[in-house]
Chains A and B, each alone.
Chain A
Amino acid sequence: MKKLTTALVAGVLAMPMTAFAADSDDPIVIPIHNWSSQIVMSNVVGQIFESMGNNVEYVTTDSQAVYESVRLGDVTLELEVWEGAFGASFRAALEKGGLHDAGDHDAVTREDWWYPMWTKEACPGLPDWKALNDCAELFKTAETGDKGRYLDGPVDWLKHGQERVAALGMDFVVVNAGSAAALWAEIGAAEADKTPVVVFNWTPNFAEAVWPGEFVEFPEWVDGCDKDPSVGPNPDALYDCGNPATGYLKKAAWDGMKDKWPSAYDVLTRISFTNPQIAEMAKLVDVDEMEPEEAAEEWLAANEDIWKPWVETGS
């Protein structure tokens, strides 16, 4: 069955491919990180490449360090460049040269203060941020006294929780978790007796499937909120808005990919996933407990109408 697809795809590709040099036999190296949607997506794209007759190899890498590796050509591409989380590393590598932007996904990303649904029962005014502030005492912990605790992402994610609390005059203390795992552990611990918590979170993310929840609605993001104090409700402070609700999700490619694997590169630029598709991929692994390769096979089998056109319209 798999061979048949390969033959078919190869047949379809044969004609337009004459315009290019053939793809190299060297493996296309796809980096894998430590969250499920990215792993499955990498396997999906890898299997698409394999169906075109390419060799593919996966390496596990750090999600920030990967841009340096793409730049050097040690890995060939990156499929999930989040504006908020990796924008800085991506732009830094872009400036040094060696990799480039290979287009956006349809999916948008959002990162902000978030709470699991049970919190709303204790603080019904949510998701408004003023209502959250009125309930601040619900979120207090042993160390924070009367103030509420907001568990922010790791310091190096630079989420400016501290600045926002100050700018909006909120009764919250910002505590930084050391890793995503620490955020989940806090939510997981709170789940048992439905303790109200407010933590940093993002979408698309597996957590949505495990713990339904909502983002806190802060004053809407306006361009310049992080640079110009006069923008936003507080005229004297930066970061007095919520984060952009529609951040980009990009693909990045090594500069050499275009010449070495022209057809694969061509497909890469056309690949674009949506939020529900990404959530579905994560769910196959996180909730249905499949192995990533299996999940990718399953997704490809169920969604041929989505990915076939990327491969077939090659020109």
Chain B
Amino acid sequence: MTLVADMPGAANAQGLSQSQKAGILLLAAVALMLARPILPDAMVRLPEWAIPPLAPMLDALFNFIKDDLGLIHLTRFLTGQLEVLLDATANLLYGKRRWPNLGPIPWPAIAAAGAVLGYALGGWRMAVFAGGTFIWTALVGQWKIAMQTMSVLTVAAPVAFLVGLGLGILAWKYRGFDRVIKPILSVLQTLPFFTYLLPAVIFFKVGPTAGAVATIVYAIPPMILMTTLGLRKVPAEVVEAGKMSGCTRLQMLTRVYIPAARTEILVGVNQVIMLCLAMVVLTAFIGMPGLGAKLLSNMGSFKIGNSFEIGVTIVLLAIMLDRMSKAWVLKQPEHFERGTPWWKRNVYLIGFVGAFVVFLGISVLAASLPNVLADDLSLRNLPGYIGGILDEVTRKQSLSNGKEIDTAIKGFLAIDGIQAVTEWLRWFLNVKVLIPFRNAMLWVPTPAFILLVMAFAWWLAGRREALIAGLFFTLVAFSGWWDRSVITLYTVISATILAMMIGIPLGIFASRSERWAGRILLACDTAQTFPSFIYLIPAIMLFGVNDVAVVFSILIFATVPLTRYTIEGLRTVPPEMTEAADMSGASRLQKLLSVQLPLALPTMAVGFNQAIMFAFFMVIIAAFIGTQDLGQELQRTLAGTDLGKNFVLGMNVSLMALTFDLIITKWAETRKQALGLG
């Protein structure tokens, strides 16, 4: 508790301004750093004996809950239930030999039904996109693995939706429950996904069930938050109207509140689907078959081209699901005149079933047609080829071009100009920037480091945030993983700073014209939905196994929210402000620097916050390149049964991420109020 001893200096200074108090903390930190040569070792790093054996204690606790309280019996029972559901979707989608033994549904039937659904939700463009995505998946020969992924998604997303909706309603009804659940949700949202995986395996058996559970838990928090948000916003008049018509309590909920909160709930659904898809891919690490597993094994045997094709499939699926569920949010329920015939009310349903049945029949008939191999494909036998693939696309019929893409990517990376640039960047960043920065951060004594973080928090946010920041980082120090935590933080900060240098100018540039804004936002969407670990291989090939590759792979993810929110922030600057600037004769640069950017800053802060969260997420995955941070240790725990250690490591990441989240959110709020932006 060396910290408390340093605190009085700050506590005495009651009458000072926020930044002056922060300055005092900063001075204390600097003093400690200057005194480093004469500091006792215990002040530089916590001595071994002061670190409580957290991991073994947690292990004992987990074992007690698991075996003595019998939680394992409950979870294994649930595993059984979940397995029935998963087996059923697995049978329907890719023909696993389980009840109901009907599948696999031929791909054209699913593609046709998907296209009709797309039409119902978003018109022709959506129909073409949905159908096209399914056709692409089938043609490149990934139908089966994509359906393995979808079979888990079709179970996990509805379960996450229902559980999230239920908990959200509870949190809305009961204040106390809300207060308990809020902090838990914040932790869950910042916990690295490796921490979800291990308990899932231990409690829910290796394979799809564990994957589904990890996915569900990962996707629930935003659903809860959106549900409570939506229900709170229901206007009082609507509630009055419901009461006047004599609704029972259940009717109030199902007929009044939930329909009125429809938009927020559907936004929640959209997030559930997207998070499920992201997680389902990552659960390959604990043995979930499907696109993620194939991607991992392709990377393990250096098939870049095939990995890339799988990446494209995942992006297409993600964008399709995202656009469809967003279209559902926008689409208002249709109301029909009394007496409209049944078929007219349900025209899309009939279309959906009809398309499904027709194409099912076609593919059953097509099963007996001869197959034309992809190698022999020409314009003349195209009809024959199409006939041959309508039942199933076999490997020799698929149009995958893995090897060609391989050659193209390797050729691109070998261009002299690119090599020279990356070689220089690698030298400059590593030798001149990153390694000195890392050494400097590791050099700082632990108490000084904590004071620095507190000073930062006090300066930007205030006393409460500074105290919480201090507490969180002290906990990290007592976890016994200080150095690794600092290295994690160093990577996150380096990547975020570089991301700002790229993302913000890009956003400023894009916000100047609608066309460019649209293009760059689309690029952002794509970069973000690309499965995160696909960036690792090109990063290594460009920069080698070192910190530059790690930072580079994080950079891609961290730049996206910065660009997005810069565009968003600049676009929403009130026009009267820019007009005022124009009238007072400000130059373009002046207008940007003194009017637009300051007004956009609170929104940009949200992007900055997300960038940091993404960086914390990605730094853990970057352990695959080779790091010495928390991610490396976390990855190691996955191989074993060190639940306690896994949890401690995960909490460290979470505590650091939460500190930043807290500070930046508070700052953005205060700024917004000060600027009168609501």
Contacts and interface: CB of A to CB of B under 8 A. Distances in A.
Interface of A: 31, 34-36, 39, 55, 58-66, 68-69, 74-75, 89, 141-143, 151, 154-156, 175-182, 184-189, 191-193, 206-207, 210, 285-286, 289-291, 294
Given A59-B206, A65-B639, A142 B431 contact: yes
B206 A75 contact: yes
B541 A181 contact: no
B537 interface: yes
Interface string B627-645: 1000010011011110000
A204 to B, nearest CB: 13
B289 A175 contact: no
B435 interface: yes
A69 B206 contact: yes
Given A36-B301, A189-B413, A65 B541 contact: no
B564 to A, nearest CB: 29
B450 interface: no
Contacts of B426: 142
B302 A181 contact: yes
A125 B643 CA distance: 49
Given A59-B206, A61-B287, A178-B545, A286 B301 contact: yes
B293 interface: yes
Q: Contact residue range for chain B?
A: 35 or more
Interface string B434-467: 0100000000000000000000000000000000
Contacts, number: 146
Given A64-B639, A89-B640, A181-B536, 5 more contacts: A34-B300, A62-B287, A74-B205, A179-B300, A184-B301
B665 interface: no
B64 interface: no
A156 B635 CA distance: 10
Contacts of B542: 189
Contacts of A39: 297
A80 B203 CA distance: 26
A184 B296 CA distance: 13
Contacts of B430: 142-143
Contact of B638 (A65, A193, A207): A65
Contacts of B206: 59, 61, 65-66, 69, 74-75
B612 interface: no
Contacts of B289: 58-60
Contacts of B103: none
B625 interface: yes
A207 B537 CA distance: 16
B626 A36 contact: no
B283 to A, nearest CB: 10
A65 B287 CA distance: 10
Given A60-B293, A61-B206, A192 B414 contact: yes
B300 A35 contact: yes
A188 B207 contact: no
Interface string B522-540: 0000000000000011001
B255 interface: no
B546 interface: yes
A302 B499 CA distance: 55
Interface in B89-126: 97
B410 interface: yes
A32 to B, nearest CB: 8
B299 interface: yes
20 contacts: A35-B301, A55-B97, A59-B207, A75-B206, A142-B426, A142-B427, A143-B431, A151-B545, A155-B632, A177-B625, A178-B623, A179-B624, A180-B300, A181-B624, A182-B624, A186-B545, A188-B304, A189-B413, A189-B542, A193-B419
B639 A184 contact: no
Contacts of A66: 206
Contact of B299 (A31, A69, A141, A181): A181
A109 B97 CA distance: 36
B402 interface: yes
Contacts of B152: none
A193 B414 contact: yes
B385 interface: no
A156 B624 CA distance: 12
Nearest to B542: A189
A290 B395 CA distance: 7
B639 A62 contact: yes
The 3 closest A-B pairs by CB, nearest first: A64-B639, A192-B414, A185-B540
A141 B544 contact: yes
B579 interface: no
Contact of B300 (A31, A156, A181): A181
B287 A59 contact: yes
Contacts of B431: 142-143
Given A34-B300, A184-B302, A89 B625 contact: no
Contacts of B297: 34-36, 39
